Amino acid sequence: MPRTETQRRCIAAVTPLEGYVLQVDFLSGGRLLLPMEGWLDHLRFAPLRRAETWASAATDGRFVRFGTVEIAHDELLDMAEYGREHGMEAKEDME
């Protein structure tokens, strides 16, 4: 059965926090606190070092966008997993 537009959306909101931590609230009720500082040395994420770019975080439910930098929801989860394996601990809150 093909997915509808609504089924593909899983991100409810994103909030850029101090210390380059990205708060991702999922439609399921879960929350991910993703430390991004360790990623800022990568060319792709370097623009996030600018305060105005970091503060511009927005979502359409499938992607998180910071200006021209785009991260898919499944990529956020991969980044969280990678971070756990490499000492960049992400936190999940299932309130």
Dihedral (CA of 79, 32, 14, 56) sign: negative
- The pLDDT score that the predictor gives to residue 8 is 77
Instruction: Give residues with Cβ within 8 angstroms of 66, minimum separation 6.
Output: 16, 47, 48, 53, 54, 56, 57, 58
Q: What is the pLDDT along the chain (95 residues), one digit of tens a residue?
A: 455 554 579 999 999 999 999 999 999 999 999 999 999 999 999 999 999 999 999 999 999 999 999 999 999 999 998 877 766 665 555 44
Q: DSSP strand E in 18-77: where? A: 21-26, 31-35, 58-59, 63-66, 69-72
How far apart CA 32 and CA 45 sit, in angstroms, is 19
Q: Are 30 and 92 in contact, with CB atoms under 8 Å apart?
A: yes
